[in-house]
Amino acid sequence: MITLQKITVPGVPEAKPRPRVGRFKNIYTPKTKGRFEQRVAKAYVNDLLTGPVCLTLEFVFPLMKSWPKKKKLMLMGEAHCSKPDIDNLVKAAMDGMNGKAYSDDCQVVKVKASKRYANEDEEAHTDIIVSPMGREI
C-alpha cells in the first residue's frame, strides 16, 4: 500500500524557463535553468506511482542578505508575492518528477502550491508531498 511520500529539495526554487526562439528560428529551452528539475529528480527516491496523483508543494525562498533587519523580521514566514510565478515553479517541479514519481505528468489531477519566505532558522528549499488520489492531505 503506497502512502504519502514527502521529499525536501534543498536550494532556492527555480521556475521553468520559457522556450526561446534561436537565431535560425529553432525553439529551445535554456539549459541554465534545468538544475532545479535535476535536483527534484535526484531527491525523489521512492517508487513510481500508477493512477491519479496529487501534489502538495511549498516553495521556501531565502531572505535577502542586503535587506535591513527590520524588513527581514517583517517578512519571515510571510507569503512570497514576487517573481518567480507559482505556475512556473510548479511546472519545473512536475517536470523533475516526470518518470520518477509518475510515468507522465498527465497523472497529476490535483495540485496545492504555496510560496513563502524562509523563517530565521530555515534555508531555502522546496517541500513536495506526492500521494495517490484519495490519500492527499
Residue spans of the domains in the chain: they are 5-132
Rounded to whole angstroms, the Cα distance separating 51 from 39 reads 24
User: What is the per-residue pLDDT for 15?
Assistant: 86
List pLDDT tens digits, range 29-45. Answer: 766 656 888 899 899 88
**d(C-alpha 137, C-alpha 130), whole Å:** 10
Q: Which CATH superfamily is domain 5-132 in?
A: Holliday junction resolvase RusA (3.30.1330.70)
The pLDDT-based confidence of 62 (bands split at 50, 70, 90) is: very high
In this predicted model, what pLDDT tens digit does every residue of 8-28 receive, in sequence order? 999 999 887 777 787 888 877
pLDDT, tens digit (0-9, with 9 covering 90-100), for 78-93 = 999 989 999 999 999 9
pLDDT digits (tens, 9 = 90+) for 86-127: 999 999 999 999 999 999 989 999 999 999 999 988 999 999
Residue 113 has a pLDDT of: 97
- Residue corresponding to grid cell 535554456: 30
Q: How confident is the model at residue 136 (pLDDT cuts 50, 70, 90)?
A: low
